[in-house]
Chains A and B, each alone.
Chain A
Amino acid sequence: MTLLSNTAVLLGKELRTEFRSRELLTTTVVFILTVVVLFSFTFDPTTSESRRFGPGLLWLAFLFAASLMLQPCFLREQNNDTLSALRLSVNDPFAIFLAKLIANTVFLLLTEMLMLPVFAVLYNVHILSVIPQLALVLFLGSLGVAIPGTAFSAISAQARMRELMLPLLLLPLLTPVLIASTEATAALLDPHPELRRDWLGFLAGFDVVFLTALWLFGEYLLEE
Chain B
Amino acid sequence: MTTPAFSPTGIRFENIDKRYGGLYALRRVSLNVAPGECVVFAGRNGSGKTTLLRIAARLVRASSGQVSYVNGQGEVFEARTATGFVAHATMVYDELTAEENLVLFAKLQGFSEPAGRAETLLREVGLLERRDSLVRTFSRGMRQRMAIARALLNEPSVLLLDEPATGLDPQGITWLADSLRRLRDAGRTIVMSLHGESEISSLATRAIRLDAGSIAADTRAGANLRSILTFADA
Seen from chain A, the residues whose Cβ lies within 8 Å of a Cβ on chain B are 2, 5-6, 9-10, 13, 16-17, 20-21, 79-82, 84-91, 223-224
**Minimum C-beta distance from A65 to chain B (A):** 22
**Looking at the complex, which of B82-90, B186-194, B223-231 is the stretch in contact with chain A?**
B82-90
Contact of B108 among A6, A80, A81, A223 (CB under 8 A): A6
> A91 to chain B: which residues have CB within 8 Å?
80
Say yes or no: is B95 at the interface (Cβ < 8 Å to chain A).
yes
Q: Interface majority SS on B: helix, strand, loop or mixed?
A: loop
Say yes or no: is B59 at the interface (Cβ < 8 Å to chain A).
yes
> Is the CB–CB distance between B104 and A80 below 8 Å?
no
> B91 to chain A: which residues have CB within 8 Å?
80-82, 84-85
Q: Lowest 4 CB-CB distances: which A-B pairs, in order?
A: A81-B89, A85-B91, A89-B108, A9-B107
**15 further interface pairs, Cβ-Cβ under 8 Å (given A17-B95, A79-B94):** A5-B107, A9-B104, A9-B107, A80-B90, A80-B94, A81-B89, A82-B92, A82-B93, A84-B59, A84-B87, A85-B91, A85-B92, A85-B150, A224-B54, A224-B59
> A9 to chain B: which residues have CB within 8 Å?
104, 107-108
How far, in whole Å, are A90 and B83 apart by their CA atoms in the complex? 14
> Is the CB–CB distance between B96 and A80 below 8 Å?
no
> A82 to chain B: which residues have CB within 8 Å?
91-93
How far, in whole Å, are A128 and B160 apart by their CA atoms in the complex? 59
**Minimum C-beta distance from B157 to chain A (A):** 15
Q: Interface majority SS on A: helix, strand, loop or mixed?
A: helix
How far, in whole Å, are A9 and B109 apart by their CA atoms in the complex? 11
> B96 to chain A: which residues have CB within 8 Å?
13, 16-17
User: Would you list 11 pairs from A and B whose C-beta atoms are within 8 A, ordered by A residue?
Assistant: A17-B93, A17-B95, A80-B89, A80-B92, A81-B89, A84-B59, A84-B85, A88-B57, A88-B59, A89-B109, A91-B80
| A90-B108 CB under 8 A given contacts A80-B93, A223-B60, A224-B54 | yes
How far, in whole Å, are A174 and B32 apart by their CA atoms in the complex? 50
Interface 0/1 of B61-92, CB less than 8 Å to A: 10000000000000000001001010111111
Contact of B105 among A2, A16, A85 (CB under 8 A): A85
Say yes or no: is B46 at the interface (Cβ < 8 Å to chain A).
no
> A88 to chain B: which residues have CB within 8 Å?
57-59, 80, 83, 85
How far, in whole Å, are A5 and B80 apart by their CA atoms in the complex? 18
> Is the CB–CB distance between A86 and B108 below 8 Å?
yes
Say yes or no: is B110 at the interface (Cβ < 8 Å to chain A).
yes
Least CB separation from A8: chain B residue? B107
Least CB separation from A85: chain B residue? B91
> Is the CB–CB distance between B61 and A223 below 8 Å?
yes
> A2 to chain B: which residues have CB within 8 Å?
110
**Minimum C-beta distance from A140 to chain B (A):** 30
Least CB separation from B153: chain A residue? A89
**Minimum C-beta distance from A159 to chain B (A):** 15
How far, in whole Å, are A61 and B159 apart by their CA atoms in the complex? 49
**Minimum C-beta distance from B77 to chain A (A):** 14
**Minimum C-beta distance from B117 to chain A (A):** 13
